[in-house]
Chain A
């Protein structure tokens, strides 16, 4: 079945450690996104990418890094520079919006990161 796979589902990290969250999609979508969600809050955009080897900062990119070496993969690294990394992270993908398509986001099940 086509979809988006995020791993791990739960992750614990000590302060000062970098951690990488995996996101893989087999929907053949061009665009991929990373969002952060804090308890009871909305989704805030961290990074997004329209094509391989290109990505743009979202509204809260500080302390995060990404790569897009393959169309299917868009891993997110939470670095030690991120001051409050405990959150729920959602990866999403979409086709590039055009006249005949809504271009809605398809989401993974999320990764919950807790910093101890």
Chain B
């Protein structure tokens, strides 16, 4: 059981480049989330999805886009990368009710540097 898988683990982007961070879960979770963690800070919600075909903005959505075509996949797209997007990105998933009692299952993160 792989849980939540994120790829790549590390990436260096030049300013203005674009990329997609991949996230896949094999637990049949309805809910999926993208968070970013800046140094010394907590996790900030970028986008989330409550099911295939449904996405919504979180606290810091600017500069990002998402799609949810299947239950398993929730890719995060960065268009026109900026140094402010240098961060560690975490994908997470949960069942609708289990997020309250059992928390989220997180991936191991993607460390992105924009230079």
Say if A and B assemble together.
no
Interface residues of B (CB under 8 A from A): none
